Amino acid sequence: AQSVSQHNHHVILSEAASLELGCNYSYGGTVNLFWYVQYPGQHLQLLLKYFSGDPLVKGIKGFEAEFIKSKFSFNLRKPSVQWSDTAEYFCAVRPNTNAGKSTFGDGTTLTVKP
Amino acid sequence: KAGVTQTPRYLIKTRGQQVTLSCSPISGHRSVSWYQQTPGQGLQFLFEYFSETQRNKGNFPGRFSGRQFSNSRSEMNVSTLELGDSALYLCASSPRATNEKLFFGSGTQLSVL
């Protein structure tokens, strides 16, 4: 069974600081990787995803993530955060099979101070 | 296109009661999955349905069950409610039973007293 680990439970940054949220997964086969974001009072929505190809993927609002297969990692980054990035971020992994289920990490709450 | 709709938005029940939650996926989406979200524990997978068939099930007791109808709408049922069942229950849909992104609803907040 797959599992996902997000190392930071709560991150507090000032505006313009750089962000990196860690995500590691365990699974023996090929996976698809996702980052979802939940802004206060809103539903979960996709930030970015990796299926194959270039391991550096770009998402909405200036976010990017790098898939490092050898480290089973898919860390989320943003060079300069804004107050509006305050949200909860979830990493998810789904085996690349027809019946694969999505497994989510526990989430990281990001607070950006203006 | 309307998003994923979950009803009701809030529910208050007492221990021992039963509850049914409803989810209408995005039109054309055939896969529906359910998650339990609690503070600090992220999203725990409950089950996934595709074309009225349950394709995956998480590690929840048999009190948690679900079904999907021919129009892809799905219901989740929890019997003999326990205090620990208090959570936000999220439904997500995707077009096919493959590895696409999930579209989430706003959830049903269940409180068990």
Q: Per-residue confidence at B1, pLDDT binned at 50, 70, 90? A: low
* CB contacts, 8 Å: A51 with chain B: 99
Percent of chain B with pLDDT over 70: 96
- The answer to whether B113 and B13 are in contact (CB under 8 A) is yes
* CB contacts, 8 Å: B90 with chain A: 43-44
Q: Is the pLDDT of residue B42 over 90?
A: no
Query: Contact B45/A32, CB-based, under 8 Å?
Result: no
CA A7, A12, A18: angle at the middle one, nearest 5? 85
Q: Quick one: pLDDT at residue A72?
A: 94
Q: Per-residue confidence at B97, pLDDT binned at 50, 70, 90? A: low
- The answer to whether B47 and B66 are in contact (CB under 8 A) is yes
Which tokens in the block code for residue B72?
Answer: 């892809």
Rounded Cα–Cα distance for residues A12 and A77 (Å): 14
